Amino acid sequence: MTKRRLSARQIERIQAIQERRRERLATRPELALAEIDAELAPEAGRVVVRHGAHLAVEDAHGQLIHCLARQNIGHVVCGDRVVWQRLPDGQGVVTAILPRISTLSRPDYSGRDKPLAANLTRLAILIAPEPEPSGYLIDQYLVAAERIGVAAIVVGNKMDLLPTSAERDAFQARFAHYAAIGYRTFWISVLEPQSLDALVSELAGQTSVLVGQSGVGKSSLVQHLLPDQAIQIGRLSQATGLGRHTTSAATCYRLRGDGFLIDSPGVRSFRLGALDRAELQQGFREFRPYLGRCRFGDCRHTHEPDCAIRQAVAEGQIAPERLANFHHLLGD
């Protein structure tokens, strides 16, 4: 583990724990030191269920503990790595959120970013021949992934609906421009388990979310990716006392093999918030080599002379539908 300097607040917390340890030693001399430490020592864990104020935290041994979060620590979400302490009644209290490597968030009613899931490493965008895919929606998810530094992949599901290889090729060709700019693409059918192998390897060891239009097969894919889901849900609801509500809670499932999959209504309904031109441009990764090379610094890439972006479209370096979606997102 890397050594980090403790903040004044962390030092204060440790001192408070030491103080309580001394108190407990004085008042309960029959307890062994180790027992006192077990009750008071902060531990690191990962939040695997969040439902309102109720959390299930997985400790280093894979045990789940029903916790509540201390109020002033910020909004705890699934995937968060946290510091928590066991309380004498067996439940726990989360006292701090450890730094996040990524955060998927959406603006709340007041326009402030509200986190939905933390520490993601993969955003899997599901499409299918049915419902009709929307390149506009795919590009929104891709911009979101670029902005939070999470690798996005495009997963075409329900390929069984396209029985001939000509139909499959035609469908895949419509999305070839994503692979050309470095987004990995997968062609699967949840009805053909062997078609999932490459995707399963891609998600191994990662913390992923599935996003996409209603009806593309997110629930069906989740069921195929998780080992016995009924057992997982039973284990999670036992730890949180949430009962059947666990299925509507934000949940971080363990994938078959290795890795995690975070699923929740909030994550599923995630949409890109409003961005300005500069922010949006950065979200289109293949634009980056051309940014700053238009004749005008404030070029809108619509009709201006010497526009490097439109030049790149003309030369086949940028797909025309990507530039169209960029304009659409800006409301041009």
Among 143, 203, 294, 329, binds Zn ion (CB under 5 A): 294
For residues 56 and 294, which CB has a smaller minimum distance to Zn ion in the complex?
A: 294
Judging by DSSP bridges, how do beta strands 92-97 and 64-69 pair with one another? parallel
Residue 153: phi and psi, rounded to 5, are: -130, 155
Residues 142-181 interacting with ligand GTP (rule: CB under 6 A): 157-158, 160-161
Residue nearest to ligand GTP (CB): 217
48 phi and psi, to 5 degrees?
-110, -15
- Which amino acid type is present at position 235? R
Binding status of residue 107 toward ligand GTP by CB under 6 A: no
> According to the annotation, is 301 in a ligand binding site?
yes
Write the binding mask 261 to 300 for ligand GTP: x where contact by CB under 6 A, - elsewhere: -------x--------------------------------
Q: Which is nearer to Zn ion, 97 or 323 (CB)?
A: 323
157 annotated ligand-binding residue? yes
Q: Are 239 and 64 in contact (CB under 8 A)?
A: yes
Per CB under 6 A, does 189 bind ligand GTP? Answer: yes
Question: Is the alpha carbon torsion for 234, 251, 84, 203 positive or negative?
Answer: positive
- Residue 97 binds ligand GTP, judged by CB under 6 A: no
Q: Which residues of 162-194 are buried (b: 16+ CB within 10 A; e: fewer)?
A: beeeeebeebeeebebbeeeebbebbbbbeeee
Tokens of 159: 């390929």
User: CB-wise, 97 or 309, nearer to Zn ion?
Assistant: 309
Residue 196 or 294: which CB sits closer to Zn ion?
294
Q: What is the DSSP string of 257-310?
A: SS-EEEE-HHHHT-------HHHHHHHSGGGGGGTT-SSSTT--SSS-TT-HHH
Which residue type sits at 50?
A: R
Is 219 one of the annotated binding-site residues?
yes
> Per CB under 6 A, does 193 bind ligand GTP?
no
Regarding 307 and contact with Zn ion (CB under 5 A), the answer is yes
Place of tokens 């006192």: 36
User: Which residue in the set 191, 275, 291, 330 belongs to the binding site for ligand GTP (CB under 6 A)?
Assistant: 191
Cα–Cα distance measured from residue 79 to residue 103, given in angstroms and rounded to the nearest whole number: 9
Which is nearer to ligand GTP, 66 or 158 (by Cβ)? 158
Report the residue from 142, 144, 190, 249 that binds ligand GTP according to the rule CB under 6 A.
190
| Nearest Cα residue to 218 out of 210, 227, 226 | 210
From the list 18-26, 87-95, 217-225, 293-301, the region that binds ligand GTP by CB under 6 A is 217-225
- Binds Zn ion (CB under 5 A): choice among 309, 318, 323, 329: 309
The type of residue at 188 is I
Q: Which residue number, 2 or 214, has a Cβ lying nearer to ligand GTP? A: 214
Choose which of 79, 133, 217, 259 interacts with ligand GTP (CB under 6 A). Answer: 217
CA distance 32 to 106: 47
SS3 114: strand
- Point out which residues bind ligand GTP (CB under 6 A): 157-158, 160-161, 189-191, 214-220, 268
- Which residues would be at the binding site for Zn ion (CB under 5 A)? 294, 299, 301, 307, 309
